[in-house]
A and B are shown apart, each in its own frame.
Chain A
Amino acid sequence: MLKVENVSKLFNPNTIDEKVALLNANLHLKQGDFVTIIGSNGAGKSTLMNIISGGIKQDLGKVIINGEDVTRYNEHERSKWIGRVFQDPMAGTAPRMTIEENLAIAYKRGLSRGLSFGVTSKTKVIFKEELSKLGIGLENRMSAQVGLLSGGERQALSLLMATFTKPKILLLDEHTAALDPSRADLVTELTEKIVRELNLTTLMVTHNMEQAIKLGNRLIMMDKGQIILQVDAERKPDLTVSKLLGEFEQISGKALSDDRVVLS
C-alpha cells in the first residue's frame, strides 16, 4: 500500500546548519498495517510524515502509494489517498466555517469542487450519522462555527474528517500530544475504533511509549534520521517499555534522552 524507498532529506544544504533529517529510510506498509513511530526529538519522524504527505520534497528516493509512484505529486494531489491529523488541534479544521461546512470540504477529498452546494439535505444526513459515531454530541451542533469548539472536540472532528472518506493511508502526527489527558484518551480511543472499523493503513507518530506499544500491529523506532528498529506484527504483542528502552540503548549506545518521551 505504502512504500518509502531509500528516501534521504537534507535541511539547509551547504550551510553550517546542514542537517541530515532522513538517511536512506525504507518503509513498507501493507494494507491494514497500523505502524507507530517513536524516537527522540530531531529523529526524523515528522520529516518522514511530511515527505509521505508531500509537504516536504525529499532529495533522494521514492514514495509509492497503492502501486503508483507519487514522488513528483504535490501535497494537494496526494491528498486523494492520504488523510492527515496534525498535532495542533487548530490545524485540521477551518475555524470560521461551520462543522457541516468543514465536513463538506472533507467529503470532497480528491474530487473536483464545482458549483454544486456543499451542504445539502442529503449530505447533512450523512454528516449527522458520522458525527454521532464520535459520541460527543457534535451531531446536534452542526451549524456551529468550529472555532467555538474545544481542542478535544476539534481534534475528534479532524480525525473524523481525515478518515470518513476512507483514505488509502492515514497519517497521525502526535495528534493527541496537545490535549489534556482525558481528551487525549478519548481521541486515542476514537482513533483505535475508526482505524479498526475502516481497516485503514495507518502511520502514527507518538511520544507516548505506552501508546506506541498499545496501539497498532507494528512499531518502528527512529534516531538521527534513520529507522533503527522495526518490530513486526509477531513480536509486537510481547513488547514492553523496558524492553524497548533496552533495545534502544543497545542499538544507539546511549539512553533514550528526550524529556518529551512519556515512559508510562
Chain B
Amino acid sequence: MSTALIGAVESGLLYALMALGVFITYRILDFPDLTVDGSFTTGAAIATVLTISGIHPLLSLLCAFVGGGLAGLCTGLLHTKGKINGLLSGIIMMIALYSINLRIMGKPNLTLRNEANLFDLMPPLWFGLILVIIVKIALDLFFKTNLGLSLRATGDNKKMITSFGANTHLTTILGVSLSNALVAASGALIAFSTNQANNNMGVGMIVIGLASVIIGEAIFGRKTIVRTTLAVVFGIIIYRLIYAIALRIPGVDSMDMKLITAVIIILALIIPTINSSINSKKTSRKRAEEVVSGLLSKEVK
C-alpha cells in the first residue's frame, strides 16, 4: 500500500507541471484551452524520439518544452489573430496535433527500454520535487513582474488592460504558449517514468488538469497566486492519491480510469457548492433570528 502511495505522490509531481500549465490558461487567462490533450503527447513524443536518437535526456526534455510552446503559440494565434473561439481553437489544435504526434513518433507506440533515461540521473521522486519547486517559484515570481501582471489582467479585465496599453493578443499568446510548454514537459517526464510514449497518452489530460486545479483550490483556497500555485500542485497529488486508492477498491480496475477521473472532478465541483449554500443558509437564518427578536423586543417595550 505504501509503495502505491509513494508512487501516487511521485506521478503527482510529474503531472504537476501539466496542472500548472492548465492553471495558467484556465485561471490566469480565463481561456479554456483544450490543446493540452495534444501537447502532452507532443512533449512525450519529442522527448522519446530525441532520446532514442541519442540526444541527452535533459536536452530532450528541454526540446519537449519548446515543442509544446510552439503548439500553444499556434492555438494563441488561431484565437487572437484568426479570431476563432477559444474553445474551438484548442480543439482544432488538439486534433491537428494527433497527426503531428504520429508523424513525430513514426508509429503509435515507442519504447524507451534499453535507452538512456532522464531518471538515470536522479530518482523520479526527487527530480519531480526539485523541478516542481523551481517551476512553482519561477511562476510565482513571473506573475509579479510587469509582464506577468499584464498577463493576469488580460484574464481579469481585458478592457482595462487594453486601456493601459498592453497588447492582449501578445499576452494571450504568451500565456497559452507557456502553458502548453509546461504541459509538454510534463508529458516528457511521464514518458521517461513509464519508459514509453503512445499516441493516446494525452487523452483526457485537460480534465485531469482541471480536476487538480479545482480540488486544490477547494481545499487550499486561492487568495494569492503563491497560494494557488501551491494548491494546484497539492491538487494533482491528491488527485493521484484518490485515484490510487480508488483502484484498490475490489472490482475496480484500470479500465475504469476515466470514469474515476470524472467522478472525482464531479465531487470536487459539487462539494464546495453544497458547502457554501449550507453556510449561507446558516448565516442568513442566524442573522434573521437576531433581527426578528430585536424587532419583537422593541415592540414589547
Which residues of chain B have C-beta atoms less than 8 A from A153's C-beta? none
Classify chain B's interface size.
20 to 34
Task: Flag B165-177 by CB within 8 Å of A: 1 or 0 each.
Answer: 1111000000000
Q: Is the CB of B145 within 8 A of A110?
A: no
Q: Do A106 and B164 touch across chains, with their CB atoms under 8 A apart?
A: yes
Q: Which residues of A sit under 8 angstroms from B276, Cβ to Cβ?
A: none
- Is the CB–CB distance between B157 and A118 below 8 Å? no
Report whether B165 and A115 are in contact in the complex, using a CB–CB cutoff of 8 Å: no
Q: Enumerate B115-167 residues with CB–CB distance to A below 8 Å.
A: 142, 144-150, 152-153, 156-157, 159-167
A86→B150 CA distance, assembly (Å): 19
Q: Which of B146, B160, B165, B167 contacts A93 (CB 8 A)?
A: B160
Bound-complex Cα distance A151 to B189 (A):
48
B174 to chain A, nearest CB (A): 11
CB atoms of A113 and B160 under 8 A apart: no
8 Å CB contact of A116 from B145, B162, B164: B145
With a CB–CB cut-off of 8 A, which chain A residues contact B166? 76, 105, 113
| Interchain CB contact under 8 A, B163 and A94 | no
Give A111 to B153 CA distance when docked, in angstroms: 16
Given contacts A97-B149, A116-B146, are A76 and B157 in contact (CB under 8 A)? no
- Verify B165–A95 contact, CB threshold 8 A: no
Are B157's CB and A113's CB within 8 A? no
Say whether A177 faces chain B, with CB atoms less than 8 Å apart. Answer: no
Are A94 and B165 in contact, CB atoms less than 8 angstroms apart? no
Given A86-B159, A91-B159, A97-B153, is A114 in contact with B147 using a C-beta cutoff of 8 Å?
A: yes
The number of residues on chain A lying at the interface, defined by a beta carbon within 8 Å of a beta carbon of chain B, is: 36
CB distance from A141 to the nearest CB of B (A): 15
Mask: chain B, 188-229; 1 = CB below 8 Å from A; 0 = not: 000000000000000000000000000000000000000000
A80: chain B residues at CB < 8 Å are 165
Partner of B162, one of A75, A95, A96, A110: A75
Q: Given the known inter-chain contacts A104-B146, A114-B146, A116-B146, please indicate yes or no for A109 contacting B157, CB distance below 8 A.
A: no
Please encode chain A, from 54 to 89, with 1 for each CB lying within 8 Å of some chain B CB and 0 for all others.
Answer: 000000000000000000001111011011101000
Q: How far is the CB of B178 from chain A (nearest CB, A)?
A: 13
Q: A76-B168, A113-B150, A114-B146 are in contact. Are A53 and B156 (CB under 8 A)?
A: no
Binding site for A on B (CB under 8 A): 142, 144-150, 152-153, 156-157, 159-168
Provide 11 A-B residue pairs closer than 8 Å at the C-beta atoms, listed in order of the A residue.
A74-B167, A84-B163, A91-B159, A94-B153, A94-B157, A95-B157, A97-B152, A110-B165, A111-B165, A113-B149, A117-B146
